[in-house]
Amino acid sequence: MRTWNNTNVPSFILMGLTDSREIQLALSVLFLLIYLITVLGNLGMIMLICLDHQLHTPMYFFLTHLSFIDLSYSSVITPKTLASLLTSTKNISVTGCFTQLYFFILFGGAECFLLSAMAYDRFVAICNPLQYPVIMSSRFCCALVTGTYMIGFVDCSFSVLSIARLPFCSSNVIHHFFCDVSPILALSCKNTFVAETVIYICAGSTLLLSLITIFMSYVSILSTILKIKSTSGKQKVFSTCASHLLGVTIFYGTMIFTYLKPKKSYSLGKDQVASVFYTIVIPMLNPLIYSLRNKEVKNAFIRVVQKRGGPKQLR
């Protein structure tokens, strides 16, 4: 807060996605629907995994935390975006803006390494099935999840502190619908080279390390799949990691497009579309991807429904 006192603006103004009132109303309805599906989908996934004992495995333990991160990730951005679309109040305090940025980076970084942990889990399950229960023990899984949150915490702390040290003494208008890195840096009246360097190191190392883990895991998985002679066997093994691979492709594709590029190539329109996708849409898609393409989840849902409806039927 002592650093933020150097800022001559009392608050920021989020310009949002459009000035058209009709489009704002349409987007508010769309985003509200997406957010409701996100909340119901991710909470439903968490509850289903907790209620069905057959899903108490490392894979679904990680999936529980993925749902929690997606729910939290979306809740950091979407409610404020909806409020800005539905009301004429677009102000956000300096503290509120940096708080939103802090948790946005925290959950984003945590999701990167959680996806890496899930890729490693699939690698052990497919390439070392006999040692899977020993390697992926409860203690090791808890350590992996704790590590993902800790890395996200360190990542966001360095990134946000590097931005918070900058003075904002000119415009207070953020040309975005939430407090993101590039739009905030554009408001500083001081050279942002140091802050940008810190952010690129944090974001780059997070994406690079997690992508290397995922890439190496899937290279080994692919090598194992190619050794299987039967086509049905190959399809069965590949189906166990197809949902995760699809989720990884969507998440990392938009993140790399948005952040791992020079500041000069920053485009407001393209970046806003990508930002809407990974902050609002992807948290909704993940529970759909992991449930609709997963027979175990579907069977677990049937078991839970039958178990809950059993006593009523007996009456």
Predicted local distance difference test score (pLDDT) of residue 267: 57
Give the pLDDT confidence of 173-204 residue by residue, as tens digits. 998 899 998 889 988 888 899 999 999 899 88
Instruction: Answer whether CATH 1.20.1070.10 is correct for domain 4-314.
Output: yes
Do 70 and 44 touch, CB atoms closer than 8 A? no
| pLDDT at residue 265, rounded to an integer | 53
Identity of residue 138 = S
The C-alpha angle 188, 189, 190, rounded to 5 degrees, equals 90
Would the CA dihedral through 230, 233, 239, 244 be positive or negative?
negative
CB atoms within 10 A of CB 224: 16
Q: Which residues of the chain have pLDDT under 70?
A: 1-9, 170, 259-270, 293, 309-315
In eight-state DSSP terms, residue 2 is T
Q: Kind and range of the H or E element at 92?
A: strand 91-93
What is the phi/psi pair of residue 165, to 5°? -75, -15
| Backbone phi and psi for residue 85, each to the nearest 5 degrees, phi listed first | -75, -35
- Contacts for 193-197 with beta carbons within 8 Å, 24 or more apart? 194/162, 195/162, 195/163, 195/165, 195/166, 196/263
Q: What is the DSSP letter of 279?
A: I
Contacts of 187 (CB under 8 A, 6+ apart): 12, 168, 170, 171, 172, 173, 174
Place of tokens 């907790």: 50
- Rounded to 5 degrees, φ, ψ at 4 are -65, -20
The single-letter DSSP state of residue 5 is: G
**Cβ–Cβ under 8 Å, residues 198 and 158:** yes
Type and span of the H or E element at 41? helix 21-51
Residue spans per domain, the chain: 4-314
User: How far is residue 313 from each of residues 118, 248, 298, 307, 309, measured CA to CA in Å?
Assistant: 39, 42, 21, 10, 6
Distance CA 94, CA 80 (A): 14
Write phi, then psi, for 205 (nearest 5 degrees).
-70, -40
Sheet holding 11-14, edge to edge: 91-93, 11-14, 173-174
Report the pLDDT value the prediction gives residue 291, as an integer from 0 to 100. 79
Q: What per-residue confidence (pLDDT) applies to 259?
A: 65
